[in-house]
Structure 1
Amino acid sequence: MPVVPLRPWRNAVFVAFAACGFAFANWVARIPAVRDSLHLSTQDMGLVLLSLSGGSVIGLTAADAVTQKLGPRRTIRFTMVLAGVALVVVGLGASAFPAVPLICVGLAAFGMGYGACDVAMNVQGALVEREVGKTIMPLLHATFSLGTLAGAGLGALASAAGVPVAVHLGIVGVLAGASVVVTGRHFPQQLPGGGQSAQDGPRGLGARLAAWGSVWADRRILLIGVVMLGMSFAEGSANDWISLGSVDGHGFDNTGGALAYAAFVAFMTVGRLLGGPALDRWGRVPVVRCTGLLAAIGLALFIFTSWPPAVIVGAALWGVGASLGFPVGMSAAADDPERASARVGAVATMGYAAFLVGPPLLGLLGQHFGILHALLAVLALIAAACVAAPAVAPPKPGPAARSSRDGSAVRSG
């Protein structure tokens, strides 16, 4: 693997996380406007969101093969540009040339670019974390949340000012793609250990398939995946439905719905900024369980209260509670340096299953029972994540493990 300077590499990972969060939150903040523009029902909107989820799953499952062929640098650049262009298409389908099929095509492409970039940048984050020797994954995800906070704020301002969705998302797509293209030169060109490429032929493919099978047979990885599934569902349900739940369930206007989502991402950011010290002091398992409890309390407040300040408080607690499950799961999956890439990809796949199942499931339930009552389904998965939390505990390092860690760091120059 080529030598890369550590600090620019680390900073490029931070930029990628922020850009992804910024792009995604701007889309989420304009969901009510898109729904109103196209006169869609809650169930119809859930089906539209399914195209985003489906594209994301395609992207994350293809991410490993794409990265093996193109390398991390070109993969992250290409996928973020794809996501940016797709946002432009979504905006055109929402206001300039209103059409559900155009939006679905744009969302599918956005999901593919976003999903593949998400996996690739999390793998890079795990490698950087191991190189610096400190717990930084929550901070990386805090940067993602800062990006979503900026995106939600910009989305709220655009909604209040009546900016057309096409103009708004077009500008966001260009900014997000350009930022990663500029900083992406600091990513390594190859995976650590000289990852297999397409030129390795069937031998490389066979090795990857064997590694994939062994990862999915690992009980600990499957339980980490349960944590990822439950907490990703808690996060993803907010991303998809907190704005519409505020508007349809609590009578907020579209700007108020965007502000409720902003409260969620703001306090998710706080949880991730404080997550590193909390994890170092109390450990992964207690922190995951406590944050899961906070998510459940916040979700209950959001569902069952009608007083607007209490709804906002519920959204905030929901955000804190959902803040650490995904980054802790990523760090736990990367505990074994030799198989970090494959394991991170596996748990990310399980986490993203929530983004595939969540939108249509909650949309269908919301159509029959109301979106607020539909959110009760999230509580069961949060409980499952708390039960599976012991799987994220770091393995006890023996002499061999310590020797392996000391010898496997990527040189940074």
Structure 2
Amino acid sequence: MPTPMIDELEGKTAIVTGAASGIGFELTKRLLREGARVVMADIEATALDTSAAAAGAFGEVLAVRTDVTDAAAVDALAARVDDAFGSPQLVFANAGVTASGAAWESTLDDWQWLWNVNVRGAVHCVRSFVPRMIAAGRPGHVCITGSLAGYINQPGFAAYNASKAAVTALAETLAADLREAGHPIGVSVVAPWFVMTRLAQSARNRPAALDESAPASDFMRDVWSKLASMKDVALTAVEVADIVVDAVKDGRFAIFPYEPSRDALRARVDRLLDGDVLVEPRAVAHVHMQPHVLPQLAPCFGIVDERPHDADCGRSVLLVDGYVHRPEAHAVVIEPVVARQHVDHQFAEVGELCLAGERRNSAIQPERTAPAQELLEIAEGLEVRFELERTHDGHLARLT
């Protein structure tokens, strides 16, 4: 079991980067409610001032505009905190951005920007704050916001996946180094999945000197933005912040706010040990779906409508390859399409709809075809929950 370094926040000083919105803002409010004083850092000055004014209703706040990509700026932030409160006990390195594009399409500017914010930003926090925390000799905790993408790679996000894998490794190594040296400072890394934040609009903070992102980014940004804005698919920033603070107080290292991600990680390791690729092409695994999601995402990823013998159990499921883990299931399948084949990213024509019979030998036997619109009409009003699995004869979706 992990050993908590800080289980009481009253009177503690906490640093939160990326604090003007999203998870960072909700972390700030939760910490304040528990009696901590919070130094809010963010690159967006106006948003930071507005958020700090709102957070001030919950406790003591100091807002410092900070560009985490600038080591000198983070050093200046640390010095400002020293002057105001002394060395902090809690550091939440939360600032992050995203950009999309296939590994060969992401521009060098994309790589530089994401690496500077996501990786160097966390490194700068470690280098500026941890030595001060060690020198103070008090128990403390460092929490770095990673992503499930740091463990499970989704196609179309090469630079983002790599940056989050890097900060995950940074956090684990930092934890080992501190433990080896005997310093009473805990470390956590958070691996959110879809969260209702403005991460998909990261381009608002993209440096003007950088060129545009890869052309493919518009499609992936649109899909992920839709998913992250749907309350029945994504967690809220409040939910994530509460999970994170509770986990930090428990001394947990790895924090997975979205519970089904645990099974996804187990499947990832199994595939790795089998020598297989770690990604699920065009799949969004372990997503709880609601009816309004289906028409928007079906053309991108494919959908199955399961109709068991008990009609009351009917449901729909987002699927990748057309396998269903119920022998009694009847299914409707749209095969997924590759977005980049459509230059204008319009998906009115997504192929044929297969009305399938019973599953036999893990394969769906097509009986007839129909226009894709029929699927959307059938799927209307049905709820979804599914998991992706790797089997000896392909991929299947396990309906739960």
TM-score, normalized by the shorter chain, greater than 0.5: no
Give the structure-1-normalised TM-score: 0.29
Larger radius of gyration: 2
In terms of fraction of residues, the more strand-rich structure is 2
**Larger relative contact order, structure 1 or 2 (CA cutoff 8 Å, min sep 6):** 1
